[in-house]
Amino acid sequence: MEDKEIMEKELLIIKGVCDLYLHGSIESTTAEVHTAFKEALNETLNIQNKIYNLMTERGWYKTDTAEQTKIDKVKQKYNVN
């Protein structure tokens, strides 16, 4: 398995973990549990960001730039200034 494939899988896994921690913090019933999930989410988001940045640096994660006209349409639709 190549490095790119490994990092893609890592990114998918870490995104799933972020989702679990987010829902854990939303659904927590005590402040202590909420704090634990929130801290775990923040750590996981930092890991996700590092993986994303490494992939972007290597050209393995490409994004499309939104056209300004499309951005303006959405802003008008939702009355965003």
Question: What are 35-53's pLDDT values in tens digits?
Answer: 999 999 999 999 999 999 9
Asked which of 2-11, 36-45, 46-55, 68-77 is least confident by mean pLDDT, the reply is 68-77
Residue 2 has pLDDT above 80, yes or no: yes
Taken as a whole, the chain contains a residue count of 81
Domain limits for position 67: 3-77
**Number of domains within the chain:** 1
Q: Choose among 22, 64, 28: nearest CA to 41.
A: 22
pTM, entire model:
0.77
79 vs 76: CA distance, rounded Å: 5
